[in-house]
Amino acid sequence: MPSPFPGMNPYLEDPELWPEVHHWINTFIAELLIPKLRPKYRVAVEKRVYQMTDGNSVLVGVPDVTIGKYRKTTEQESSNLAVASPPAKPITVNIPIPEEVRESYLEVREVGTGEVVTVIELLSPKNKRTGEGRKAYDIKRQQVFGSSTHLVEIDLLRSGEPMPILGNQIYSDYRILVSRSELRPQAELYAFNLQQKIPSFALPLRKGDTEPLVDLQSVIEDLFDRAGFDLAIDYTREPVPPIAEADVVWVNELLTEQGLH
């Protein structure tokens, strides 16, 4: 069963589902590009690894452990031992356990030299909220901006704080940023909303090379045909995060028309 939405499907943004969606989108983008880039370029799947804890919590330090030798207690010593009164009943609490986070992204590399020509980043919820996830990605983003590597940044998440764009107050549900190294600080921004089709964009490469068109809409549609996401979505429930008030009527009518609501 295909996606009922003409563009991005908001039900795919559910944090419970997104890690799987993120994986498949990267995989399908790579599959789309590989035959178009051969034999000069190849597409590599890379991972960014960092540790984070929940919310405002801090890491719990692990003290050094001293191992004592067992010693038999004599009867005289036993009689001199004070008997402690029972402790107060403990309260069950949760402690912050560090979570190792792995986020995948794509690199278009030149065959022969191995040089990274273009980085393709699909943002995750952790990239769009304050914390280690955003910090780790922002460091990588600034490194790319200061290099000769192109950056394609795909944001298909309505929630969270968009990555900064200087001098522009542009509000949209979703966005695709194409930053060509030779044009910086200028970049191409594709801003679009829930009711719109996902725009296609040209993948920046070396000067003079034919740039393949990335049809992200077809990638999203492939998720349902090939990865079976129609079996993972219950359209009778409200999506997470919730739909904006301006789109609620449109979404309900769309799902009702297709017998899904």
Calpha distance 126→63 (Å, rounded):
30
Domain span at 150: 10-52+97-234
Task: Find the helix packing angle between 18-37 and 216-226, rounded to 10°.
Answer: 120
Higher pLDDT, 176 or 75: 176
| Confidence at residue 170, expressed as pLDDT on a 0 to 100 scale | 84
Ranges 23-32, 59-68, 180-189: which has the least confidence? 59-68
Question: Is the residue at 178 inside a domain?
Answer: yes
CB atoms within 10 A of CB 55: 9
Going by pLDDT thresholds of 50, 70 and 90, the confidence category of residue 122 is very high
Question: Is the residue at 183 inside a domain?
Answer: yes
Going by pLDDT thresholds of 50, 70 and 90, the confidence category of residue 83 is low
Q: What confidence tens digit (pLDDT) does each residue in 197-223 have?
A: 999 999 999 999 999 999 999 999 999
Question: Is the residue at 65 inside a domain?
Answer: no
Overall average pLDDT of the 88-112 stretch: 84
| CB 177, CB 163: distance < 8 Å | yes
pTM of the model: 0.82
| Confidence at residue 82, expressed as pLDDT on a 0 to 100 scale | 60
Going by pLDDT thresholds of 50, 70 and 90, the confidence category of residue 105 is very high
% pLDDT > 70, the chain: 84
φ, ψ for residue 70 (rounded to 5)? -70, 135
% pLDDT > 90, the chain: 69
Tally of structural domains, the chain: 1
Question: Is the residue at 185 inside a domain?
Answer: yes
Question: Is the residue at 256 inside a domain?
Answer: no
Residue 59 clears pLDDT 50, i.e. is over it: no
Question: Is the residue at 30 inside a domain?
Answer: yes
Going by pLDDT thresholds of 50, 70 and 90, the confidence category of residue 249 is very high
Question: Is the residue at 154 inside a domain?
Answer: yes
**CATH number, domain at 207?**
3.90.1570
Question: Is the residue at 260 inside a domain?
Answer: no
Q: What confidence tens digit (pLDDT) does each residue in 9-21 have?
A: 999 999 999 999 9
Higher pLDDT, 70 or 191: 191
